[in-house]
Amino acid sequence: MTSITSSDLSGDNTNGSGTSGAIAVFKSLPAWARWSLTAAIGVFVLTVVQELSGTELLTSANASGGMLRWAMPILLAGLGGLFSERVGVVNIGLEGMMILGTWCGAIGAFEFGPWGGLLAGLIGGALGGLLHAVATVQFGVDHIISGVAINILAPGLTRFLSDRLFPQRGGSISQSPRVDGIGDFTVPVVADTFGSIADQNIFFLSDIASILQGFVTNLRWFTLIGLLLVPIASFVMFKTRLGLRLRICGENPKAGESLGVGIYRHKYIGVIISGAFAGLAGAFIVIELTGLYRGGQTNGRGFIALAALIFGNWRARGVLTGALLFGYPFAISLNDFDATGSGVATRALLLVVVIGLTAYAVYTFIQDKKITSNIVLAGTLAAGILLWYLRTERAAEWVPNTMPYALVLIVLVFASQSLKAPATAGMPFRRGEA
């Protein structure tokens, strides 16, 4: 079957060459410049869509601050998945380890304060990681089965423990007493500077300032810790001897074993660290988002964290990007569906998705010089979502809750071909086998 090329459609490839050259120049930029330029383009798209849709929420300080806050559990659990899968162990049990972290974080915060809750949540998740490591590394249990078992065990175990401990402390079988948060802070001078620029209503510039204002205003200390863990995790994984040994467990454990690396020991380390990060994510939900433990409050964030990990190509900064992307719709909905239930800003997000899908289709066509199935799928989805946008005046309240999961599916469908998972992730390893 003959494929349709860009030169067939245009008659020449002058524009295509120019665009390809621009893409080549973009790829040649340093990493920080590429990320900054991409972020600026994203803000510009939000600014334009905001003007077209008659809303001011897309680039508001509340939206960016809320995005950072709601992304944090996904980020922490995603970093946990990074350590586990880099040593070759698929951790479907992140959700269950987060649940253990929520319960331990609540009881720890109630008894010893918020910092005690943070430590207790970390320990609770690490114990879940230890259980997963014993099952998968020591006994060779299928990774998916072990993870699902932990996801089933954690809710039942925490409900049993809640029945024994929370009613005597003013809670109930499904809810803990209220606990205090660690607190927040605002960066002096910087927040005021961004706020004054945002108040001047300068196209695009004020929108950037408003978003940055949200990042430095009422910033949770726990959030700052989570953000600092991103470069720390990246440094440990890719710049240290420990990280090298962890990665060889997931890439070529046989070669590592021949060089004297303790494969079992390092797999244990990676999976336990994974559980500890997931426990921190659960503790964040309790201590900073809700102020108490409640059954089912993780809401599947462990699975979204796995999607953020895949979206981020098994790298820490990619996990951060995915977490922010998936947390943004939640942040918008908090401000959009108030007492009036407007839904205008959430409807505007549909147009943002249309632009993103169209840009992906154009970029892929320029790169491949032919119409592929992904381009057809992206174009079809963009047309359908655009029709939905044009036929509605406001979004229904169920849209923000489903949009992160829809984004997960869209991202995984279109990004899967350019991703590279650890070579032996999910595969069993037995010492001494050929």
CATH for 249: 1.10.3470
Token pair recorded at residue 8: 């067939």
Torsion of CA 381, 387, 392, 395, to 10 degrees: 10
DSSP 5: P
Residue spans of the chain under pLDDT 70? 1-20, 338-341, 416-417, 432-434
For residues 207 and 203, give the distance between their C-alpha atoms in angstroms, rounded to a whole number: 7
CA gap 138, 267 in Å, rounded: 10
Nearest to 211 by CA among 328, 112, 113: 328
Q: Using an 8 Å Cβ cutoff, are 159 and 143 in contact?
A: no
Q: What's the confidence (pLDDT) of residue 74?
A: 95
User: What is residue 397's predicted lDDT score, i.e. its pLDDT?
Assistant: 75
In a domain, 50, yes or no: no
Q: Is residue 305 part of a domain?
A: yes
> What is the DSSP-derived secondary structure letter of residue 418?
G
- 42 domain residue, yes or no: no
| pLDDT value, residue 171 | 87
d(CA 72, CA 304): 12
Q: Is residue 186 part of a domain?
A: yes
Six token digits for residue 383: 């047309």
- pLDDT tens digits, one per residue of 391-416: 988 887 788 778 777 877 787 777 76
CB neighbours (10 Å) of residue 152? 12
Residue 335 lies in a domain: no
Residue 405: strand, helix, or coil:
helix
* Residue 12, both tokens: 């020449």
> Quick one: how far is CA 238 from the chain centroid?
20
Q: In the prediction, which pLDDT does 68 show?
A: 93
In a domain, 24, yes or no: no
Length of the chain: 434
Name every residue whose Cβ is closer than 8 Å to that of residue 317 and which is 6 or more positions away in sequence: 35, 230, 234
| Residue 12 falls inside a structural domain | no
CA angle, 75 as apex, 425 and 79 as ends, to 5°?
A: 35
Q: Give the pLDDT score at 4.
A: 42
Q: 297: domain range?
A: 59-328
Does residue 427 sit in helix, strand or coil? coil
**CB atoms < 10 A from the CB of 340, how many?**
9
Contacts of 77 (CB under 8 A, 6+ apart): 94, 97, 98, 277, 278, 281, 301, 302, 305
Asked if residue 179 is part of any domain, the answer here is: yes
φ, ψ for residue 15, nearest 5 deg = -65, -40
Distances from the Cα of 293 to the Cα of 105, 120, 200, 393, angstroms: 8, 13, 42, 37
pLDDT, position 87: 96
Say how many domains are in the chain: 1
Q: Which residue has the tokens 């809670």?
A: 171
